[in-house]
Amino acid sequence: MVEQIKDRIRELRKKLKEYDAQWYLTDTADPHNSEYINDHYKEREFLSGFTGSAGTLLIGDDIALLWTDGRYFVQAVEELMDTGIILMREGDAGVPDLYEYLENNIPSGDTLLCDGRLISCKMGRRIRECLKSMGASLKVGKNLVDLIWNDRPEDSCNDIRLLPAELYGQEYREKISDLRDAIAAKGAVASVISGLDEQMWLFNLRGSDILYNPVAYAYTVVTDTGVSLYVKERAITDELCRYAEDEDITLKAYEDFYKDLPYLKFMGKVLIDPDKTNYLICRILERSGTELIECLSPLTEAKAVKTPKEIGLLKDAYLKDSAVLTRFLKYVKESAVADKADEYTLALRLDSMRAQIKGFNDLSFTTISAFGPNAAMMHYEAPEEGSAKIAGSGFYLVDSGAQYDGGTTDVTRTLLLGEAEDIKKKHFTRVVAGMLALQNAVFLKGCGGRNLDILARGPIWEMDMDYKCGTGHGVGYMLNVHEGPAGIRWKQKIAGSDYPIEAGMTLSDEPGVYIAGKYGIRIENILLCVRRCENGDGEFLAFEPLTWVPIDKDAVKKEYLEPKELKWLNDYHAKVREKLMPFMENEDERVWLIKATSEL
């Protein structure tokens, strides 16, 4: 594989010379700036061999650099070894980010090429300004990877599904009315929408064009008089045609969007989300004389707050999901070593168990099943050949979830198999303490994730340690397992980006400890933000868990818990026992659940 990567980079450099350019940039993106992308758009992976879901690759005449964040450092070191590609560890002291590097290292007169569809509007503008300051230039017309990727996978195109009324929380007509009001409130007369999950939510549609993400490729243009939905012609069903006619939605060919865009006549300003809209769209609109208003998409904000109906369905989905995961954890604790299971077979076992749940559609991401040192890689994927055997003593980490009719789930548990030294139990116990502290938070309306992050991260920092990622992300409703606008992290990538957490939002709570080459620990629950009370001091919010899965008490050492933290753990386990007992299928399972959730 290493030689293949070197050959591909050599071929790309030849193409750069043919196009009189010195640099090529490729990000982890599709034309909609989706977090997860299908195989057709995995250009960065094709060129570098790095398989993480986030990273930017810059290739020059005699240098290649890859930026990624702390979730992937261990993985990136391994996958980039001997390729000649330099790992740029985002956030580490002394490591310039992409824009700092461009400002200080691109010679005057140089040209950087990239596909304008595969970088966001915001990213494209920043690159352009960095290069301009150095006397260099950005060109976005040509995709050079197309010229060297001979067996490039076909782009996906699958049927679009119309959700039945019992599964969505609000009618399309209400949503489009609210959207038009939000567009007008921003001083615009129209909006061009690229985010796939936003469009699926708006129209009460779902697709399957990206693995584990129930979305279909689409663009939408909304004005005060009409709505045009651009979708791939092969994805259009008779049901979608009837629905579009009933709702006054004009269906157009996805393939015609870029042809139509320069000729759309807007009678005023157009609203776009610069993080979701690609750079080529921005350039086309600007060159056609359209004035843009750039802000967070109103749809991102609207879909993050779940309706009472969606919340009810989510609670049911999480209960069923929690019961199956609990049954799986029982098997791992009791039988995985004796059965000589490995990481891969355990992942298959859990996936097949979830598939039996009524309403199951797909996983929500690839199951992370990791034992021992592999658990230190946050996004580890167990290979079919060469997976670690579950043998001896160590931590087993499983991070998994599914897409159901009624919800999207995500949950992580770490189990101790065999014995553990005191320091390992200390690390595990303090991770549990951090997770429970955030889960039991009470806070004023208006607080963002930055206000709350210290609750989960504090017990880790007190050990002079840190985990190189955020503490929590939003979770979609029958949509992407990661969604904005709110998140829980201490470090803002962009000043002022900390979005207030509101009642109805669902967020993950997942602190951890990761010791490279040794072990990883993560405990994750999904939390629903709820209104607690209102008084003279303001409106107070709190969280209630959607996840009801035992935490492995074998790895918890009471001495490392404060009395309040111990009470939180015992109270949580009492609720787990109460909620899951009706789902236990036999006396053996009921006895195990009672033991797993008994007081410490």
Whether 193 and 227 map to the same domain: the answer is yes
Amino acid in the structure at residue 426: K
The answer as to whether 156 is a domain residue is no
- List Cα–Cα distances, 478 to 213, 365, 527, in angstroms: 9, 13, 16
**Residue 153 falls inside a structural domain:** no
Taking only the tens place, the pLDDT of each residue in 511-544 is 999 999 999 999 999 999 999 999 999 999 999 9
* Helices 308-335, 563-580: inter-axial angle, 10-degree rounding: 100
Domain boundary among 127, 148, 169: 148
pLDDT for position 232: 96
Beta strands in 122-170 (DSSP E): 137-139, 161-162
Tokens 């509101």 — which residue? 502
Domain membership of residue 154 (yes or no) is: no
Residue 475 lies in a domain: yes
Chosen domain end from 303, 318, 340: 303
Whole-angstrom distance, CA of residue 384 vs CA of residue 342: 9
- Residues 32, 171, single domain; the answer is no
Q: Which of 171, 170, 116 is nearest to 143 (CA)?
A: 116
Same domain? For 290 and 309 the reply is: no
User: Are the beta carbons of 102 and 94 closer than 8 angstroms?
Assistant: no
**Does residue 155 sit within a domain?**
no
In this structure, are 44 and 79 located in the same domain? Answer: yes
> How high is the pLDDT of residue 569?
98
Q: Which two tokens stand for residue 480?
A: 């992407």
Going by their DSSP bridges, the two strands 86-89 and 64-68 should be labelled as: parallel
Token pair belonging to 352: 């097949």
Burial of 158 (0-12, 13-18, 19+ CB in 10 A): middle
Q: 170 and 44, same structural domain?
A: no
pLDDT on residue 494 = 60
The CATH number that applies at residue 225 is: 3.40.350.10
- Cα–Cα distance measured from residue 526 to residue 545, given in angstroms and rounded to the nearest whole number: 6
Secondary-structure breakdown of the chain: helix, strand, coil percentages, each rounded to the nearest 5: 40, 20, 40
Three-state SS for 535? Answer: strand
Please state, in angstroms and rounded to a whole number, the distance separating the CA atoms of residues 416 and 521: 10
pLDDT at 493: 65
Query: pTM for the full model?
Result: 0.93
Query: Across 255-333, where does the E strand assignment appear?
Result: 270-272, 292-294
- As a whole number of angstroms, the distance between CA 593 and CA 514 comes to 28
CA distance 554 to 101: 48
C-alpha span between 513 and 522 (Å, rounded):
7
Find the CATH number of the domain harbouring 520.
3.90.230.10
| Total domains present in the chain | 3
* Residues 242, 101 within the same domain: no
Structure tokens at 41: 């758009």
283-285-290-295 Cα dihedral, nearest 10 degrees: -80
Same domain, 328 and 259: no
What DSSP assignment string belongs to 158-219?
Answer: ---EEPPGGG-SS-HHHHHHHHHHHHHHTT-SEEEE--HHHHHHHHTEE--SBTTB----EE
Residues 485 and 505 in one domain: yes
Q: From its phi and psi, is residue 274 left (phi > 0), alpha (psi between -120 and 50) or beta?
A: alpha
Q: With respect to residue 76, please indicate whether it lies within any of the assigned structural domains.
A: yes
Question: Which residue pairs from 77-86 have beta carbons closer than 8 angstroms and sit at least 24 positions apart in sequence?
Answer: 79/48, 79/49, 79/50, 79/51, 79/52, 80/48, 80/49, 80/50, 81/2, 82/2, 83/2, 83/5, 83/6, 83/9, 83/48, 83/49, 84/6, 84/9, 85/5, 85/9, 85/48, 85/50, 85/57
Domain identity same for 379 and 232: no
- Distance CA(253)–CA(244), nearest Å, equals 14
Write out the two tokens for 48: 């570098």
Does residue 445 sit in the same domain as residue 586?
Answer: yes
Domain extent for 170: 161-303
Q: Which of 99, 120, 148 delimits the end of a domain?
A: 148
How far apart CA 294 and CA 235 sit, in angstroms, is: 30
For residue 108, what are the contacts with CB-CB under 8 A and spacing of at least 6? 134, 135, 136
For residues 250 and 330, membership in a common domain is answered with: no
Between strands 411-417 and 407-408, the pairing is unpaired
Residue-wise pLDDT for 352-402, tens only, equals 999 999 999 999 999 999 999 999 998 899 999 999 999 999 999 999 999
pLDDT of residue 1: 86
What is the structure's pLDDT at 497? Answer: 67
- Token readout for 87 is 């790992």
368, part of any domain:
yes
User: Is 182 part of any domain?
Assistant: yes
Residues 273 and 338 in one domain: no
How would you list the strands of the sheet with 137-139, edge to edge? 86-89, 64-68, 56-59, 23-27, 111-113, 137-139
Residue segments in the chain with a per-residue pLDDT below the cut of 50: none
Those residues with Cβ within 8 angstroms of residue 42's Cβ, 6 or more apart along the chain or in another chain: none
Residue that the structure tokens 């990661």 belong to: 482
